[in-house]
Amino acid sequence: MLTAFYSNYHSGGVNDGNYEQESKMRSHHLEQLRRVKVALGRSPRNLLDIGCGKGFFLETCASEAISCKGLEISDQAADFARTNLGLDVLCGDIHGAKSQLPTFDAITMWGVIEHLANPVAVLRDAQEILAPGGLLFVTTGLGDDWLDRLLPGVNQWYDPPQHLFVFSADGMRKSFERAGLELVFLDQNYDRTKIRSVTRFARNAITGTMLRLAAEIGRLDSGRFEMTRFPIANYLFAVARRP
């Protein structure tokens, strides 16, 4: 089911497909790579990007002469990365591909884990190909926080079939533990700059409060409590280590 869905998720050129504004996401990649370097204390020697899409993060890594490889379930995206960017990208899932892969000192999953049917199994597979002491980097939508409680179940991360799981901070920690990984860092208000993090927090607080008040007024008027999914939410950044 996931393979069929994502076969059309990426298509055509740089900004085509359902994966919105792909070129804009390039502005995130330098900050993502900087965080990888800070956590490792150096540049990664061998990096795997799971769910690499069309390969733009890998392109950033390759531009700094980092040995890197991608794994992508969408055949169209994997072909784009190989043909247009000259990247080393395998098409498939990690469970089927791990026997073909070396070990890595860094594995990244940028906005991927919420799309997976069995995220703990994927984390476990990733743990198996991490070198001892290697780090796994994950970003995903955050649930069960103050904003989710203000607008229960209607933030932007509740969006099947694209998003199958929404993680709380504790849920992410327990998922790592079940996969044999140990949490070393978790940011519950992630964005690529501090200013953007503060702006996101303020925007979500103001907008979420107004939407909640509007919903309560509507409930009192109609006797029903109805909400629509809203494009606001918090973002989680986590780092885990293979012991």
**In this predicted model, what pLDDT tens digit does every residue of 109-124 receive, in sequence order?**
999 999 999 999 999 9
Domain with 141, as residue range(s), is 2-13+22-241
Smallest Cα–Cα separation from 211: which of 139, 153, 158, 126?
A: 153
The one-letter amino acid code at 139 reads T
Q: What's the CA gap between 171 and 51, in Å, rounded?
A: 21
Bigger pLDDT: 177 vs 154:
177
Q: Does position 205 have pLDDT exceeding 60, yes or no?
A: yes
Question: Could you tell me if 81 and 14 are in contact, meaning their C-beta atoms sit under 8 angstroms apart?
Answer: no
Work out the end-to-end distance of the chain between its first and last CA atoms, rounded to an integer number of angstroms.
Answer: 34
Domains: count for the chain: 1
| pLDDT tens figures, 61-93 | 999 999 999 999 999 999 999 999 999 999 999
Q: What average pLDDT does the segment 189-201 reach?
A: 91
Residue 146, token pair as written in the block: 């103050």
Q: What is the pTM of this model?
A: 0.88
Give the three-class secondary structure for 112: coil
Q: What's the CA gap between 240 and 173, in Å, rounded?
A: 9
CATH number at residue 194: 3.40.50.150
Smallest Cα–Cα separation from 239: which of 173, 174, 159?
A: 173
H helices within the chain, ranges in order?
2-6, 22-40, 56-63, 75-85, 94-97, 119-128, 146-150, 169-178, 194-222
Sign of the alpha-carbon dihedral angle for 227, 189, 29, 180: negative
Q: What is the DSSP letter of 180?
A: T
Q: What is the DSSP letter of 1?
A: -
Q: Does position 179 have pLDDT exceeding 60, yes or no?
A: yes
Residue with tokens 């076969």: 7
